[in-house]
Amino acid sequence: MKIYSWNVNGIRAIKKKGFLEWMEEENPDILCIQETKAHKEQLDESLLNIEGYEAFFCSGERKGYSGVAVYTKLEPITVKTGIGIERFDSEGRILILEYEEFTLLNIYFPNGQKDDERLKYKLEFYDAILAYCDGLKEMGKKLVICGDYNTAHKEIDLKNPKTNEKRSGFLPIERAWIDKFISHGYIDTFRTLYLEEVKYSWWSYRFNARKNNAGWRIDYHFVSDNLFEKVKDAKILNEVMGSDHCPVTLELDL
């Protein structure tokens, strides 16, 4: 089973860049999208009903902002938007699909660069997600937690670590939360399989960053430790264009 995750930076924009053709070619079992920047009623039939897939959407109160979606070939048992905390759920950042063999969380984590208040919101969002995941794991659930985490974990995960030490996305307090997440039994699949491979999943639109591969790895598939034995592979498809992010993939032996 192949699960893809991609921050598309606008689902309507990426449709014009060959998204539907890419989808047909790649043929993922599940595709998780972040930053749709659209409400469901703003999408045309070609995005609402991709042949072979059922689609689920979660949008924020603010139009043209945030939003997540899942296209799935597998029929989920349940679908949930949010984690039951209004201040986080209102931005349309979380879709949770329960399947027979695992629970999938598609999350667009907040960006903390705007100001201190937004950084505080991001860190509180992180902790709320950790508590929610821990609750599911205590119930015996096996978890896939994918999406745009908006934080690079280690120096290997971005081109210029020294110059970004004081920038949200690579602050010590943000990186420490990923350490905490891992200590609670969640595994960064790509980095665990490829300890020393340098690959990025996001590049600024400025300074020819993508052309120069001056990027950050901020898109992840984490799995709970009780699912890791089923992980076959994890990849970063950094040759795929269309967004300032590229897709990341997880292959499970299910």
Instruction: Report how far residue 41's alpha carbon sits from residue 39's, in angstroms, rounded to the nearest whole number.
Output: 5
What is the fold of 2-252? Answer: Deoxyribonuclease I; Chain A (3.60.10)
Q: What CA–CA distance (Å, rounded) separates 11 from 1?
A: 24
SS3 category, 18: coil
Q: Which residues fall within 8 angstroms of residue 112, CB to CB, at 6 or more apart?
A: 118, 119, 121, 122, 123, 150, 168, 169, 171, 174
pLDDT of residue 94: 98
> Averaged in consecutive runs of 10 residues, what is the pLDDT profile of the chain (254 residues)?
98 97 98 98 97 97 95 98 98 98 98 95 98 98 98 98 97 98 98 98 96 97 98 98 98 97
Q: Which amino acid is at 110?
A: P
Mode of pairing for the β-strands spanning 248-252 and 202-203: unpaired
* CB contact set of 163 (below 8 Å; sequence gap of 6+): none
Q: Which residue among the candidates 148, 157, 188, 219 is catalytic per the annotation? A: 148
Domain chopping of the chain, boundaries: 2-252
CA distance 62 to 39: 9
148 given a catalytic annotation: yes
- The pLDDT value given to residue 151: 98
CB 175 within 8 A of CB 157: no
Q: How many CA atoms lie within 13 A of 122 on its CB side?
A: 25
Q: Are 236 and 217 in contact (CB under 8 A)?
A: yes
Q: What is the pLDDT of residue 13?
A: 97
